[in-house]
Amino acid sequence: MRRHRAHLGPPLLRREGVRPEVPAAAAVHLLFGIWTNQVNAERFWNRVLWRDDSPDSCAVWCGYLNELGYGLVRVQGRLRSAHRVAYELTYGPIPENSLVKQRCHDRACCRPDHLELRRVTRLTPEQVGAIRVSPLGCRRLARIYGLSFQRIAVIRSTPISI
């Protein structure tokens, strides 16, 4: 089901010629060899609408949106998240165990400067136990383990299962 974009505020403007530059070396291996020429990258960026010229404005995916509001694009018969494709077209392949998140919290945003990599961390049971009994604060533990302080707080507040 395609979502209606009335909630996005002012009318969207198409910015011709203002698309992120793809490094020449990255163009060969973008999207695991799928985007080997600029034509496919141009087709992708033509489906993105920029709200205005300010650095805080989002570049909204105007293609298909899933039920959660994330943009989806079909690449070689497979649906991929539009913000992940935008990241790969701009910066190159996404490392394993990494997520691409929008800093602006707009799920349909594909603007490369709003996208950031976040590492997925799996904790061992020993680490979870150490977090629960540690006298350190959540923010300090978050820096030590490379997690958000909210996740540390959730680990501390979750009951221990026997």
Per-block mean pLDDT, blocks of 10 residues, the chain (162 long): 44 47 45 50 88 83 91 86 92 87 90 88 86 90 86 87 60
Interatomic CA distance for residues 146 and 156, integer angstroms: 16
C-beta contacts of 103-106 below 8 A and 24+ residues apart: 104/56, 104/58, 106/58, 106/60
Alpha helices by DSSP H, the chain: 38-45, 82-91, 125-133, 138-145, 149-157
pLDDT at 2: 45
pLDDT at 76: 75
Measured from the Cβ of residue 70, the count of other Cβ atoms closer than 10 Å reads 17
pTM over 0.75: no
Q: What ranges do the domains of the chain cover?
A: 6-119, 125-157
pLDDT at 143: 85
Measured from the Cβ of residue 35, the count of other Cβ atoms closer than 10 Å reads 23
pLDDT at 72: 92
- How long, in residues, is the chain? 162
pLDDT averaged over every residue in the chain: 77
* Residue 51: closest CA among 128, 131, 109, 115: 109
Q: Among residues of the chain, what percentage have pLDDT more than 70?
A: 75
pLDDT at 148: 86
Backbone torsion region of residue 69, taken as left when φ is above 0, otherwise alpha when ψ lies between -120 and 50, otherwise beta: left
